[in-house]
Chain A
Amino acid sequence: MVDLTVDVGSLRLKNPIMPASGTFSEDLADVFDLDLLGAHVTKTITRGWRDGNPTPRVCEVSGSMLNSIGIPSKGVGYFIERVIPFYKRYETPLVVSISGNTADEFATLCSEVSVDGVAAIEVNISCPNIEEDGKAFAIRPSSTFDVMTKLRKATHLPLWAKLTPNTGETPEVARAAEDAGADALVVANTILAMAIDINTRRPKLGNLMGGLSGPSLKPIALRMAYQCARATKIPVIGCGGISSVEDVLEFLIAGATAVQVGTATFIHPLAMPRIIDELAAWLARHGYSSVKDVIGSVIDDEQKAGVVFMEAAP
């Protein structure tokens, strides 16, 4: 029997597989027993009501997708009264994803969702910050540090900072989040992208641009997870295009403690329970007694030149 448990800071997970925010909800309970998962991660909520973006909100690009959903939210009241109680029936810990337009609004929401039934808070600092010309908090180390400092003061719960690939300063942003008190890093969100219909000449998304997710994001997210694992001492949760057990292993070997599966669930709603079974089988087949033995096992010590080149890249 392979031990699949991992520790994300103080939080012990029964296995390292959890959903990515925005690709999971109570609705998936119609398909399988959600207690199979290592954690539950909700779709990002904001304090107040948000309608979300105009349609079309998604489009396909070869082997992947773009989305600009726009964080529709029923607000924090609905979330506390209706959503958190749903998850109380499960043993799996609940991770609540939140976002805010300003650092203060963000921190207020962080405090409001620090309630019974919530095990950790994932802070989506990849969202636009209206105090910084709409640039996401996690694009710069300074804005990351400032918002994380306010969020840290707002809750006693573990704080997971969700980073963005839309930055040229990944290790610096990761260290800024760690320095401000983040308990873990979720690496990463979608990368800003675009698609145009050549016949109508219109962008394929109602919001013109949107986030790329799916298999084509994976090498970028993997590079970032590797950079963050090297740059900080806090756990890294890999996220981006993970669709198979091989993808999960790649992130674990790169240094991720756990992973989030997102777009793959849209294609195969049973992807997460299948990957959990396959992970146990792979580890057993390769003689491992614990998944922890794989984490950070990347062999990179003789590739200094490659690392230097990597650090020079954006």
Chain B
Amino acid sequence: MNAALKLGDVREAIKPVVFERDLQIISNVQVNGEYRQMVLKAPREMLEQCRAGQFFHLLCPQLGGENPYLRRPMSIYGFYPDKGELHFLYKVTGEGTRALAHLGAGDTLNVLGPLGRGFTIADNWQHLVLVARGVGLATLAPLALEANRLGRKLTAICSARSDDVLMSVHYFRSLGANVVTVTDAEGTSSIENLEAIIEGLIAEEGVDAFYTCGSNRILRLLQRIGEKHEIPGEIALEQQMACGLGMCHCCVRPFRKEDRVVNLRVCREGPVFDMQEAMPW
């Protein structure tokens, strides 16, 4: 029996959509007191698969005395098929990111992706509101790009400790978003003030969907406002991962599904989830 012929007859081909590749680093620099941005040269076939809210699983190098073993998940900050660039924004917090910070232009980084399920923008959602804090804004940045491409109105409410760590503000503005900044330093980042700002937006302009990432307090607030006004929303969540593909089941989190709580894999069913099903942590 000719195996090749038999396969051709019966197989329903599954096209690989996730790539494990060594990519060359164009730059990896500090962008402010806390964050670094890495720009990688990436092939078009990989970038064309990317969606806002998805992530890559990075094989952090064994450099500078750091010996990370497992890959580290990192949300996509920007992807540009025409320029052939993939961007990440990260804060150095542990062994993996410390090792990443040692890489420079010309070095290579092995990446796996794009992975996971990204953000949804339904056809009838005209005014999108994203609310996030700190590095959570990096995950929401490509959503601004997508909203711009689809011609939707976007309001970005960016929260941070002080002005100098307000990520992505310039980026959101350049994409035509209406940007509202709140900071701890100015005393404007309280949940009460955020609620007033969001209620104001709903009353004056109407809001079709919320998006958030990274803050428990903001999640609770948006769940409450979303439920009250029947406005849908999505949240990008994080969890420690091993495989990043869905095989190992280590990155589960609990979600409310109808009347019970179920564990879902952040890498596969997420990292973007329905906001009302998410459970504060």
Contacts and interface: CB of A to CB of B under 8 A. Distances in A.
A28 to B, nearest CB: 6
Contacts of B18: 30-31, 269
Interface string B30-55: 00000000000000000000000000
B243 A265 contact: yes
A269 B3 contact: no
Contact of B252 (A24, A34, A55, A270): A55
Interface string A49-67: 0011001111111111101
B69 A28 contact: no
B112 interface: yes
Contacts of A28: 245, 247
A268 interface: yes
Contacts of B243: 23, 265-266, 269
Nearest to B4: A91
B7 interface: yes
B242 A65 contact: yes
Interface in B240-275: 240, 242-253, 263, 268
B252 A25 contact: no
Given A29-B14, A62-B69, A89-B11, A23 B245 contact: no
Contact of B250 (A35, A69, A90): A69
A69 B248 contact: yes
A52 B247 contact: no
B247 A43 contact: yes
B7 A35 contact: yes
Interface in B198-252: 239-240, 242-252
B6 to A, nearest CB: 7
B12 interface: yes
A27 interface: yes
Interface string B1-34: 0010011001110101111100000000000000
A6 to B, nearest CB: 17
B67 interface: yes
A268 B242 CA distance: 11
A214 interface: yes
Interface string A14-41: 0000000011110111111111000000
B16 A266 contact: no
Chain B interface residue number, banded: 35 or more
B76 to A, nearest CB: 17
Contact of A62 (B16, B19, B67, B112): B67
B240 A55 contact: yes
Given A63-B67, A63-B69, A67-B248, A269 B112 contact: yes
Interface string A111-150: 0000000000000000000000000000000000000000
A313 interface: no
Given A27-B268, A64-B69, A58 B248 contact: yes
A267 interface: yes
B68 interface: yes
B86 interface: no
B3 A91 contact: yes
Interface residues of A, number: 40
A58 to B, nearest CB: 4
A72 interface: yes
B70 A57 contact: no
Contacts of B59: 267-268
B87 interface: no
Contacts of A43: 247, 249
B71 A266 contact: yes
B263 A51 contact: yes
A90 B6 CA distance: 10
Most buried by B among A28, A61, A63, A269: A269
A150 to B, nearest CB: 28
A24 B242 CA distance: 12
Contacts of A35: 7, 11
Contact of B69 (A57, A65, A89): A65
A89 B18 CA distance: 20
A65 B70 contact: yes
24 contacts: A22-B248, A23-B243, A27-B268, A30-B16, A31-B20, A31-B245, A32-B16, A35-B7, A35-B11, A52-B252, A52-B263, A55-B240, A55-B253, A56-B250, A58-B70, A60-B68, A60-B70, A67-B250, A89-B10, A91-B3, A91-B6, A267-B69, A268-B110, A269-B20
